[in-house]
Amino acid sequence: MNFIEREHIDIEKWDRLVSTTKGSSVFSMSFYLDAVAENWCILVNEDYTRGMAIPYVVRLKLTCCYTPIFVRYLEWFGPTMDDHRFMAMLKAHFRQGQLNTKQKVRAKKLKRKVFQVIQPVSESDANSQTKRMLNKFGKSSLELTWGDDLSMIMHHIRRELPQKVHSLNKASLDRLGVLVSVLQEKKMLQMLTVREKGRGVGGIFVVEFNGSLLYLKGAMNKDTKDMGGMYAAMQEAIDLSQTKQLLFDFGGSNAEGVKRFNTNLGGQDSKYYAISWDNLPTWFQIVMKIRGLWKKG
């Protein structure tokens, strides 16, 4: 097993490993990481039958791995490697790490996290709150349309979300813009818009990949939300996943309000994990805090 930097990766072999692994996510595809990660490499064997993508940043010549925004987790592909060896290789290569993983890894610092999914061909499990909001939407002048109004949805995301999610700054939103454009080019992106009297008032992005439909990001103004716009958009996307017999993936968020919203729509918890380590010198941590260099877009 060796670390291979992005410019030396056999992209065709790597993407084949990711896309042919049952249940794998789009987060580890090369084009996805190119859009959202500052840098990334892979830990892989010679014939690309097992391995993992590792995003990282370089600050003051020290290299630290991290989980980029718009990536819930990275995952190990192929036959597993011994946890002790895996962690030893990571720590030898990266002085500090904060990495979310799909698989559980035996590590000193390990946290269990959850996201929500709806299995294919499931009975509707929406609760009374969802039914009330959908009824509210049905009585409003709002309407849903599938389309390609990428710029309108991005406009609402840029306007509405930074005040609610501190990690969504200009740099990260620019990365999202690049990502959705690439996904659209690859015909993996679908856009559901909410309109009022023909005017776009919000929408959501969903991504179809490897047997799942992933909610990537979306936004709309408060009035539209209050009239059930987000509930209606998400329910429409869930209905599409059921029609196509796809897993519906609500994306990743640790906010309690978001989890409650997902659960209202019938989402069930699924696990992933966060591992971390820190072998950085004290002087480095002080300098980083002073200069604010840990900010990642």
Q: Where in the chain is the domain with CATH 3.40.630.30?
A: 126-266
**Residue among 40, 170, 18 at smallest CA distance from 99:** 40
Query: Residue 87 has which token pair?
Result: 């962690």
The pTM of this model reads 0.90
Query: Residue 124 has which token pair?
Result: 């509707």
Residue 208 near residue 80 (C-beta atoms within 8 A): no
Compute, in degrees rounded to 10, the torsion defined by CA atoms 103, 104, 106, 111.
130
**Residue among 200, 201, 205 at smallest CA distance from 217:** 205
| Angstrom distance (rounded) from CA 154 to CA 253 | 19
What pLDDT shows up at residue 257?
A: 83
Q: Tell the residue number behind the tokens 């659209």, with chain if given.
A: 184
| Angstrom distance (rounded) from CA 239 to CA 154 | 23
What pLDDT shows up at residue 190?
A: 95
What pLDDT shows up at residue 80?
A: 84
What pLDDT shows up at residue 280?
A: 67
What pLDDT shows up at residue 290?
A: 55
pLDDT < 50 regions, the chain: 294
| Angstrom distance (rounded) from CA 210 to CA 28 | 12
> What order of strands is seen across the sheet that includes strand 199-209?
2-5, 39-44, 51-59, 62-66, 96-101, 268-278, 110-118, 247-249, 212-220, 199-209, 189-196, 142-147
CATH H superfamily, domain 126-266: Gcn5-related N-acetyltransferase (GNAT) (3.40.630.30)
Q: Is domain 2-114+272-291 classified as CATH 3.40.50?
A: no
pLDDT tens for 115-138 read: 999 999 777 777 888 999 999 999
Rounded to whole angstroms, what are the CA distances from 285 to 38, 93, 275?
A: 20, 18, 19
Radius of gyration of the chain (CA): 20
Q: Which long-range contacts (CB under 8 A, 24 or more apart) does 284-287 make?
A: 284/60, 284/62, 287/60
Percentage helix, strand, coil for the chain under 3-state DSSP, each rounded to 5: 35, 30, 35
Cα angle vertex 291, ends 289, 295, to 5°?
75
Task: Report DSSP letters for 154-219, one per residue.
Answer: HHHHHHHSTTT-TT--HHHHHHHHHHHHHHHHTT-EEEEEEEETTEEEEEEEEEEETTEEEEEEEE
